[in-house]
Structure 1
């Protein structure tokens, strides 16, 4: 879909308007200016004085149908130029969304919101002391979010504050993410650092040497500064791809190097691929008091697993779940994906029925996203996925099933190119929520990323501004440079926590 927009030439509008177009059309190209030769021509106007006003007139070339929208709101006369432009951009987005909704008949329940972390907006308002109903009203007015999604946001925020009552006071602590970049095979939808482990033992050994170094040096710095760790999360890749002996040495390093490990609130290991779980590895985790793991089926349809490149069977998922439970894993998460190739509502209902037989403590329901670098995106014609309407039915089935089985939503995030413009939601039996998932989504503290492909998010203690810093994604680059990356992280931490202690 080629969309030409006249009346606006400021390139600062391009990205938000392109993002909104992507909510409606699988393939869209938005151009500011032009000669009205696109599939859609939208003429827009805006003005800013005592009121912010915007209007849009959309003409569909093929049918010559026309749709109009207008919006007006009081101007923040005493705001900065940046705040004023933000208000103008929002008004323009309102009328743009409205004419596209009229054209397509698609109602966007998330309104103009295309950001990843909707609940962060609500947290910010409540943290400032705003009453809930006022915060909800602002979300409705500013972003056109539906009551259904606002209620979901509020239930998640309330749950998070029940799980982590001191959520807003954790800026002087950190959480740790440890990335293991190896998997048995790479899934078709995956863009995470993940390298098939077969034949790579040399790379694994070298990588683990660098990771041990990072853990020691970061741990040393945290101890010197008396900084507590809130949670530790092993992700990847698949952290259980390495051997039981390698896992044992890694956890020993973690407990020896990190400060006050007995008071870390949570340690999680993603054992996401059932084909990597063995009794020996579970014994190692039990030895180090790790009992929160993920065993991820994604689907209980064997044809689907084959299509997306997961080389385990449905039976193996069930077998490894029971093995994990019998060997003392008391908090098991399972991931399901809505909209996988070839699946519609009946297949997803089969997956829910199989989940019911296991009843993990938490369940993360992802909506398939066509990530730019994935095999699935590069060869879209090979992977037939469900329609928007079918995906919405599947999400509704997940919501009904979780509510009916005692699960409550506790975190949420969204992605670009996500089917049906929906969301990914983590559900949990009360008391079994993942603290790390809350911390990474709500961005209330710094997250230090260690290992190949691990991304750090450093939170400024006063302004809340976030600085991103990522280790290289491929093992060779990581092995060549882990010392310099470790030193750079410590430099950033020195600066941030110096500001924190001085109150600047």
Structure 2
């Protein structure tokens, strides 16, 4: 059902999208109308007034005979028009969120934040020398973030700076993401570049030729410019979906063409699908000194795995975990997803109990997100998921379990359409945090994406401005244009590191 909200008093169309994102935190789907609509269900009147050096926003929500009011003012200091609008938008969002919380009786723990990376706010203040107490006050008052979430952000910042003490100085280095776009099958919640590998070995071989070319050209540029690599991350898809021989050739090439591989801080290979792991592939990983891998159960309930299209068994996940241990993998990450179809607190408690038997070095707890192009989103009626209250209970269970078992939170990110307006949190044993995950979330350095569907983030070392650039998502287009995209990336790198 779409909830129509008529916003009266604001004429600037730029407010529509941010207010809609906030409204969507409360209702499944909303439409913001700047003109009165006959089918509107809520009316919110928002005024902006200038009082001395402050801009004050007031809001009145009208629902039948009920009225809910809020007012908030703050000095707007920016000279730049874009930054000035951002500050005004936050003031308006503040009162809009306030009246919606009063009306629905739902508290949004992340306040007005709808972006992916809350901890970037805290890092920015830390770099500017703002004291912790003042940072906490700003987050709670200006962004309406609850004490609980502010404390989580503070813990994560402390862990990140402990694991990477030079976090604010790695801008002169780069990290590399290598995308392998193949999986045994595609999961129902997935929107990553992932193509079922069965019967497509010819396409795999063509893709790997293009990938090798990209690695050679990027490696040559890095050597010529003397740019160091901080981390390398093989993602996808499932990088272990290709054969052991193909993996061996790929890692050998990495050592041949990338500079100073032995001093790269971390190399990770996602082996997320247990049905792709074999003794031969683990031997290849060990041969090339790669011991950080992901083996992702997502759930330890067999009916759930079947419902989301993961064609492996719970027993296979456990067996492959032990197999990886036997082959010397000593830094294993596992993923669990809160709110998968048909799952509630009982099923999640079972998944945590099974995790306790294995005790991986890190555990990433995702909250299910209905991603726009996923099978699950396109067929929502088919996939029944837990309500906000139960999802929040599951997140609390994860927090308590990780605390009891000496895991610490070290990164988080949020997504649109995430259940309960919650978050995804990476936990680890102290000292086993993934450096790549910190780099990609805090956006402190350029990340070069290589391979099908791989996205690059080019970050200006002086201004911090970010430019996104993505390779084609499907293998056919990638195979036809990998040389063109490689050249474009190198041109962008030349400008950044000139």
The within-5 A match list for 1:401-420 is 401-420=401-420
Residue pair 1:52, 1:87 contacting (<8 A) in 2 also: no
1:235 aligns with 2:235: yes
| In structure 1, distance between residues paired with 2:37 and 2:353 | 54
Match of 2:59 among 56, 60, 68: 56
Q: Which residue of 1 aligns with 2:5?
A: 3
Deviations 1:410-435 (A, max 9, x none): 00000000000000000000111100
The two structures, once aligned, show a CA RMSD in angstroms of 1.0
Distance 1:29 1:83 in 2: 26
Partner of 1:27: 29
TM-score calculated relative to the size of structure 1: 0.97
User: Is the 8 Å Cα contact of residues 338 and 368 (structure 1) preserved in structure 2?
Assistant: yes
Q: Secondary structure at the match of 1:67?
A: strand
Query: For residues 450-474 of structure 1, what are the alpha-carbon distances to aligned partners after superposition, in whole Å with 9 as ceiling and x for unaligned?
Result: 0000000000011100000000000
Q: Is this contact kept in 2: 1:173–1:445, CA < 8 A?
A: yes
Task: Give deviations 1:44-91, integer Å, cap 9, x for gaps.
Answer: 11123522111111112xx43221111122343x63333332222111
* In 2, Cα distance between equivalents of 1:149 and 1:425: 12
Where do 1:433-448 residues align within 5 Å? 433-448=433-448
1:101 — aligned with what?
101
Say yes or no: does 1:70 pair with 2:71: yes
Q: Note the C-alpha offset of 1:480.
A: 0.1
CA–CA distance in structure 2, aligned partners of residues 87 and 441 of structure 1:
23
Per the normalisation by structure 2, the TM-score is: 0.98
Aligned 8 A contact 1:7 1:33 in 2: no
Residue 103 of structure 1: how far off its partner (Å): 0.9
Looking at structure 2, the residues matched to 146 and 277 of structure 1 have their Cα atoms a distance apart, in angstroms, of 42
Aligned positions of 1:255-404 closer than 5 A:
255-404=255-404
Alignment check: 8 A CA contact 1:300 1:350 kept: yes
Give, in angstroms, the shift of residue 135 of structure 1.
1.3
Deviations 1:295-341 (A, max 9, x none): 00000000000000000000000000000011100000000000000
Distance 2:206 2:143 in 1: 48
In the alignment, the residues of structure 1 paired with residue 104 and residue 38 of structure 2 have an alpha-carbon distance, to the nearest angstrom, of 19
Residue 8 of structure 1 deviates from its aligned partner by 0.9
Corresponding residue for 2:497? 497
Task: Answer yes or no: is the 8 Å Cα contact 1:48–1:75 preserved in 2.
Answer: no
**Inter-CA distance 362–99: structure 2 relative to 1 (3 Å threshold):** same
Deviations 1:424-448 (A, max 9, x none): 0000001111000000000000000
- Report the Cα offset of residue 36 of structure 1: 6.2
Q: Hey, what's the Cα distance between the residues in 1 that align with 2:86 and 2:19? A: 13
Aligned to 2:132: 132
Distance 2:215 2:95 in 1: 51
Secondary structure at the counterpart of residue 171 of structure 1: helix
| Structure 2 counterpart SS, 1:376 | helix
Q: Report the counterpart of residue 250 of structure 2 in structure 1.
A: 250
Gaps of 5+ in 2: none
Compare 63-72 and 457-466 and name the one that shifted more. 63-72
Aligned residues: 495
Structure 1 residues not aligned, in runs of 5+: 499-504
2-structure distance, mates of 1:36, 1:8: 19
Say whether the 8 Å CA contact 1:4–1:36 is kept in structure 2: no
Look up the match of 2:43: 41
Measured in 1, the distance between the counterparts of 2:76 and 2:330 equals: 54
**Can you list the C-alpha shifts for 1:362-397, whole angstroms capped at 9, x where unaligned?**
000000000000000000000000000000000000
2:162 matches 1:159 = no
Q: 1:464 to 1:75 in 2, by over 3 A?
A: closer
CA distance in 2, matches of 1:205, 1:345: 44
> 2 CA distance for matches of 1:424 and 1:171?
25
- Please give the alpha-carbon distance, in whole angstroms, between the structure 2 residues aligned to 1:263 and 1:252: 16
Q: Is the Cα–Cα contact under 8 Å of residues 335 and 365 in structure 1 kept in the other structure?
A: yes
Equivalent position SS for 1:352: helix
* Corresponding residue for residue 212 of structure 1: 212
- 1:474 and 1:347 map into 2 onto residues whose CA distance is 35
2:20 corresponds, among 6, 11, 18, to: 18
Which secondary structure state, in structure 2, belongs to the residue aligned with residue 59 of structure 1? strand
Alpha-carbon distance in 2 for matches of 1:287, 1:84: 54
